[in-house]
Structure 1
Amino acid sequence: METVTQKSARLEFTLRAQITSEQRQRLLMEMGARLNAEQNQTQLEKRRRQDAEFFAAMEAALAPAHKIEQFTIKLDRYETATVQALMDNERDTLAVRKEIDAMLLKAHTLEDGRRVFKSEDGVRVFDEHGAELKPADVAPESISDEKPRAEAYFERRTEERRLVEERKGLHDYQTKLDTARERVKDPTLTENELSALDKELGQSVPDRVRKLVGDRTGGQSIDAAIAPEAGDVPAAQDRLRLPVQPAFQPG
């Protein structure tokens, strides 16, 4: 038969065993929580490091402020030259059309109102639209040698068409300049994108604009010509938009 002393000893042993088990469970929970916290901290530090590396890479890729400033000065100079080119084109177009009008006034006129021109060799006749007439319609010898010749007239018409096409190209280039100016305002513009813009504008610059910039800088290359000089900040230019006029239509 178990004595009171034996029962007390067994109870004390059981209580001690239970306390030890609870402590062990608490310790395991604390260790697990600490491990999770360390893992979370490691992940947080990793994310922070990755974010820092990303922003550092972005900062390195973005176009530097001084290059954007230099490119903006280039845009100003391209734009100024383009405005001047449009003005010169308009002047030349008006001059050519004046010559064409004068030739048409002096041209030999048929009974049906058509104005015709004899070739330099005196054997062919063309109307003002380029259609060749048969000798049965008009004999070349019936046209005075003092009248404007076909070659001179059509050369002026060809020049007129060239000037109209040139003006269209100048307006297209102005649009490119406007687009580039808006693009450089984007804070996410990269240095590679800025270089691509610079290259595109340099390669597509119209001949008349290129000549104006080259003439103004002693015949330097276009890139050297528009490179900013110390303290050189051109005044803002008001863009001139010249309307594209239709080709001359005879009355």
Structure 2
Amino acid sequence: MDINYQALINEDYERLNKELEHKDSLEVLKWAYREFGENLVYSCSFGVEGMVLIDLISKVKKDATIVFLDTDFHFKETYHLIDKVKKRYPSLNIELAKPDLTPEEQKQQHGDRLWERDPDACCNIRKMVPLERELSRYDAWISGLRREQSPTRANTQFVNRDNRFKSIKICPLIHWKEEEIWMYVKLHQLDYNELHDKSYPSIGCEYCTKPVAKGEDPRSGRWANLAKTECGLHK
């Protein structure tokens, strides 16, 4: 690999994104796996964007590694979807990353229903720390962020400096619109989380995800009634 996070400066990211500016998602993925090879991992939440990315990745690297942050608090529908994906793409290496604390240990150490009292602390224990552990094994990671998802994601590039995880974050879907995501899913008859058909446009942990009314911000169902829209992975 000829890209090193520690050596890159802002101008390098600008140059890389300029070179990839007119590439499509598949070409960006081919570039990423060519540059990083086995040192590239996809951190997937198994939302609808994830289904598209998994299918695209399977066309580039059939044995790619995908990591899912299994907080122990996900909907049963999410776990069922993961089983379907494993059957459809048997060559992919899908890993479920667990927190250091079981739900019971978290309750004993931090009290009951931490996600209500201090959602940032809960996300840190069950998402941030596990992902930090997983990403420490790789030089770069793939994310399904799209610019139209929220104002905090509007400036996302194909190749991003990730100061939080001391890594490089590759986002191949930044230009995709929601209708394009669903068109791809329907065209290729991909499995997806059935909660999307029940007014859940963005799906996280069961305790912190609510259905969204038509016309509302798609991420308003995440940590509803709290001044929180991100778990911290993409800040």
TM-score range, shorter chain: under 0.3
With normalisation by structure 1, the TM-score equals 0.22
- The higher relative CO (CA closer than 8 Å, separation ≥ 6) is in 1
With normalisation by structure 2, the TM-score equals 0.23
Larger Rg over CA atoms = 1
Which structure shows the bigger proportion of residues in helix conformation? 1
Which structure shows the bigger proportion of residues in strand conformation? 2
